[in-house]
Amino acid sequence: MMVPINVLEEKLDILAGTFGCSKGSLPFTYLGLPLSIDRPIAHDFLPLVTKCETRLTGISSFLNQAGRLQITNAVLTAQPTFFMCSLVLPKSIIKEIDKYRKHCLWRDSDINAKKPPKAAWKMVCVPKDEGGLGVLDIEKQNKALLTKDLHKFFNRLDLPWVKLVWEKHYRNGKLPIHIRKGSFWWRDNLKLLPDFKNIAMPQIHNGETSLFWHDRWANQPLTL
């Protein structure tokens, strides 16, 4: 299928006929991910929410408390991971997924049950060695997974998208500090730049990807 972006219909007909493929249009779904030139809205993530609900109603009613905790961690928490590796989940979708995780942990499969939780959700998401239940905070996990893209970018890994972004936006060697440019996907990644700087260690080499005043040296940047 050929999906055009800023291509005239006549030219699309010629290209589709030449390659012997069908014509498509944006937005569309690829490997389950909603693809568009604009940021996906909450409605585009409804299939993910439906999958979480299906998992909830199919398994949690047959398990004890320990089993429901395991399912919450291993299944319902893992369900959105593929999405979170590429896109920022809307807060409304995170809230909806958390609703199903809470029901799985405290109220079995009955989505209308009103049984109060045994602990606050914030405490549930605390690591076990700190007194919590070790359930992942989806919003923080989403940021952590997307931060890996900045690692790939700054280290110039041999990936097509890394080469494309460098060539398109940073050909002059200037790195993103305050300027937010590019697609919605890349701008979302750049919002995580302060978090990435807090955990990254600059290595000089030829100096092209190190910022003397803005990178962290001795646990803090030179410019405050």
- Single-letter code of the amino acid located at 63: L
- Residue 195: the pLDDT is 87
Instruction: Tell me, yes or no, whether 186 lies in a domain.
Output: yes
Residue % of the chain over a pLDDT of 70: 83
Whether residues 61 and 13 share a domain: the answer is no
> Among residues 188, 168, 216, which one has the least CA distance to residue 83?
188
Q: Looking at the structure, do residues 25 and 60 belong to the same domain, yes or no?
A: no
Same domain for 62 and 128, yes or no, is yes
Can you tell me the distance from the alpha carbon of 41 to that of 79, in angstroms, rounded to the nearest whole number?
19
**Rg (alpha carbons) of the chain, rounded to whole number:** 22
| Same domain, residue pair 109 and 89 | yes
Task: Identify whether residues 48 and 119 lie together within a single domain.
Answer: yes
Q: Identify the band that residue 137 occupies on the pLDDT scale cut at 50, 70 and 90.
A: very high
| Angle at CA of residue 212, ends 211 and 218, nearest 5° | 110
Mean pLDDT of 189-217: 75
Whole-model pTM: value is 0.79
Q: Are residues 76 and 129 in the same domain?
A: yes
Q: Which residues constitute the domain of residue 20?
A: 1-30
Query: In the listed set 117, 136, 155, which residue is the last one of a domain according to the structure?
Result: 136
Rounded to the nearest 5 degrees, what angle is found at the Cα of 44, between the Cα atoms of 38 and 50? 165
Residue 72 belongs to a domain: yes
Write down the pLDDT at residue 176. Answer: 57
Q: Is 138 exposed, middle or buried (0-12, 13-18, 19+ CB in 10 A)?
A: buried
Instruction: For residues 130 and 161, state if they share a domain.
Output: no
Is 8 in the same domain as 57?
Answer: no
146 lies in the same domain as 192 = yes
Instruction: Kindly state the tokens that stand for 197.
Output: 């700087």
Give CA–CA dist 191/76, Å, rounded: 27
Mean pLDDT taken over the chain: 84
Determine how many CB atoms are found less than 10 A away from the CB of residue 141. Answer: 19
pLDDT above 80 (res 132): yes
Query: Closest Cα partner for 135 from 93, 106, 112, 92?
Result: 106
Q: Is the pLDDT of residue 224 over 60?
A: no
Q: Is residue 36 part of a domain?
A: no
Residue 2 placed within a domain = yes
Looking at the fold, whether 25 and 76 belong to one and the same domain comes out as: no
pLDDT class of 209 with cuts at 50, 70, 90? low
Residue 45 confidence (pLDDT) above 80: yes
- Token pair 């949690």: residue: 60
- Classify residue 38: in a domain, yes or no: no
The conformation of residue 2, written as its DSSP 8-state character, comes to B
Specify whether the CB–CB gap between 204 and 212 falls below 8 A: no
- pLDDT tens for 69-92 read 888 888 888 989 999 999 999 999
Contact 195, 144 (CB under 8 A): no
The answer to whether 22 and 1 have CB atoms below 8 angstroms apart is: yes
Span 140-145, mean pLDDT? 94
In this structure, are 155 and 131 located in the same domain? no
* Mean local confidence (pLDDT), 1-15: 88
Q: How far apart are CA 18 and CA 6, in angstroms?
A: 19
Structural domains counted in the chain: 3
DSSP bridge partners of 216: 221
On whether the CB atoms of residues 61 and 109 are closer than 8 A, the answer is: yes
Q: What is the pLDDT of residues 166-185, one digit of tens each?
A: 888 887 766 655 566 788 89
Tell me: pLDDT of 154 over 70: yes
Question: How high is the pLDDT of residue 27?
Answer: 83
Q: 156 with 91, same domain?
A: no
- CB proximity list for 21: less than 8 A, separation 6 or greater: 1, 2
Pairing state between β 216-217 and 28-30: unpaired
